[in-house]
Structures are given as structure tokens and as C-alpha cells.
Amino acid sequence: MDIKTQIKQKALELGFDLVGVASAQPIKEAERRHFVGWLERGNAAGMEYLTRNIDKRFNPALLLDGAKSMICVALSYKPAETAHNGPCKVADYALYEDYHDFIKARLRKLVAFMVQTIAGPVECKICVDSVPLAERSFARRAGLGFIGRNHCLIHPELGAQLLLGSVITTLELPADVPMDKDYCGSCNRCIEACPTGALGHNSEYDCRKCISYLTIEEKEDIPEIYHDKIGNRLFGCDNCLLACPYQTAAPARKNRDFQYYPQRNLLIPQEIMTWTKEDFLHLFKNSPVHRLSLDRFKRNAGICSKNSLR
């Protein structure tokens, strides 16, 4: 069995649903220019970190000297269980333990396996949202899916609820075939499902209107024009993912080691307004929600509370 096959088999044994190999060559200049233009039009809103290290984002060799290949993985998080329906809604991925820690721990085991199996000099860098890297672009290059009209990576069988990770390595491996076909066709369901029009029919994604951005990334007050649209969404929004036909047909997640907490959908906004910092940390210490401050969480809860009284 060749080393690439062994690595891919090990990744699946570690619980990933998809694994592929991509060249670490820079992403095409046209894609870089498109990203820069998107930034210049203000679509990144307050996410200033996206404007930094742009060259590194599209060139893995600037993150790891001598990079030759990227091993890209994906983990499905489509709930196998029905989440409880309460006064507030937390995005599906945040009903799990923090995926950063979960994926990194398994990628460390994959790297250890690589070093042991190769028995030679090899360097690796693990990436899970912690470095500037165009993860979706490289995952597409590795054959893990295509970039859909909702700007997410979509696998034709596993859908759009995928969490990504990668290993940049100096080991040169044969690359897999990218998924370049337009699988969306004439479908516009994600665009039609977006409550605020953040997904434009011209394929432009405007974070300034996105409920996920507004409830997670926005550090200031959320503009009042979006309060009604937020509805009962306390953290994030799944509309453009769940509207996708590929997601509807996708099987539920297989990895049951990825801990799921459906009770996070039972929160009452009026009670959140009385929480202490300790209350917040107790419930979300191992959750992606932890990235919010309690003040911003209460800000979101206040909007949900106001909407519940209408």
C-alpha cells in the first residue's frame, strides 16, 4: 500500500468523513484578485483579519517552507438527532463541542502516523481556522467538494454541513482530482432562503448583511434594520446550508465521538439577560460560542427577546 493510501485510510480511521490530497502550489492569481476585489468592496465588514496576510492565504509555502502537498479533511456535522426547539436558535455547528480542538487533536494523530510511517525527514503544519489559509479553495482542489452558490464547500453526497481542516506538508504526494463541475446548475434555493439578501444573485456575498456575521463577528450594536430578520437566531444562521438540496439528501453524521449538546437550543433569552460570566462559561466553555463575549451574547438575546414579544 503506497503512503498516500495509508495516510488517507488513517484519516478515515480517525473519524473524518472525507480526505483528499492537493498540491501546495499557490491558488490561481485570478482567484486571489477576486478575493481582493471582494475585500475592496467592503464585503468583509469588520473582519479586518481577512485583509492581512493575503499572500499567505493563497500560498501554503509561505506558511511552511518547502511545502509540497496539502492533506485536506472534512467532518460532517449534520445532526443525527433532532435538536430541541426552544425560544432561541443556535447554529447547528455550535451545538457540538469546539470543532477546532476536536479536529486538531485528530490531525496531530495523523501527523504522528505520517512521521512514523515515512521514517524520514518530513515537516507538517496543522491548520484549522488558526492561520490565514483559503481552506475551501484547497479542499475543492483536493476533491472534497465544490464551492456552491452559498459560498460554502458542498459535497454531492455529504452536503454542506462540513467542518474543514488541513495539514500542509513537505512530503510530496500525488494530488487528487479537483471537483470543478458546477453542481449548482440553475438552483438558487440558498439565495432565496437568505433572510437579509446577503447572498446576491450576482454571486456576491455581503457579510454586512449576513446574520452569521452580525450575531458572531460584529463587535458593535447590530443595525436595527436587521433585528426583525434575525428572529430567534441567537448565534449564527443555517438557512443557506439547510436550503441546499444536497444537504437535504445528505446522511446524518457518522462520527459519534464529536459531542453533541442539543440542550443549547433550549435557552430562554430573558434568562440570558441575567447571566453572569460564570453562567456563560459554564455552558459554553467547550463550544464555538465561547468566542463571543457575554456582552455580545446578551446583545443577541435582547434582539431575540424583543422579537419573541411581537
What pLDDT sits at residue 130? 81
- Could you give the CA distance from residue 305 to residue 309 in angstroms, rounded to a whole number? 7
- Could you give the CA distance from residue 135 to residue 173 in angstroms, rounded to a whole number? 18
Give percent of the chain with pLDDT exceeding 70: 99
Task: Return phi, psi of residue 164, to 5°.
Answer: -110, 155
Q: Is the pLDDT of residue 249 over 80?
A: yes
- Could you give the CA distance from residue 224 to residue 5 in angstroms, rounded to a whole number? 53
Task: Assign 294 a pLDDT band (cuts: 50, 70, 90).
Answer: very high
- Could you give the CA distance from residue 138 to residue 160 in angstroms, rounded to a whole number? 16
Angle between helices 277-284 and 294-308 (to 10 degrees): 90
Residue type, 217: E
What pLDDT sits at residue 95? 95
* DSSP secondary structure, 173-217, as one string: -PPPPP--S--STT--HHHHH-SS--B-TTS-B-GGG-HHIIIII
Task: Assign 83 a pLDDT band (cuts: 50, 70, 90).
Answer: low
* DSSP secondary structure, 229-254, as one string: HHTTEEE---HHHHT-HHHHHSPPP-
Tell me the pairing of strands 89-90 and 146-147: unpaired
Nearest alpha-carbon partner for 75 in 259, 264, 261, 263: 259
- Could you give the CA distance from residue 198 to residue 190 in angstroms, rounded to a whole number? 10
Residue type, 274: T
- Identify whether the C-beta of residue 8 lies closer than 8 Å to the C-beta of residue 114: no
Q: Is the pLDDT of residue 84 over 70?
A: no
Mean pLDDT in residue range 80-106: 91
What pLDDT sits at residue 1? 81
Q: Is the pLDDT of residue 46 over 70?
A: yes
Task: Assign 178 a pLDDT band (cuts: 50, 70, 90).
Answer: very high
CB within 8 Å of 127: residues ≥ 6 apart: 63, 133, 135, 165, 166, 167, 168
What pLDDT sits at residue 253? 96
Residue type, 187: C
Q: Does residue 159 sit in helix, strand or coil?
A: strand
Q: Is the pLDDT of residue 82 over 80?
A: no
What pLDDT sits at residue 166? 98
Q: Is the pLDDT of residue 31 over 90?
A: yes
What pLDDT sits at residue 127? 97
Which residues carry out catalysis?
A: 129
What are the tens digits of pLDDT across the range 127-161?
998 899 999 999 999 999 999 999 999 999 999 99
Only one residue has cell 462540513, namely 162
- Could you give the CA distance from residue 301 to residue 287 in angstroms, rounded to a whole number? 17
What pLDDT sits at residue 85? 76
Q: What is the pTM of this model?
A: 0.95
Q: Is the pLDDT of residue 126 over 90?
A: yes
What pLDDT sits at residue 152? 96
What are the tens digits of pLDDT across the range 195-232?
999 998 777 999 999 999 999 999 999 999 999 999 99
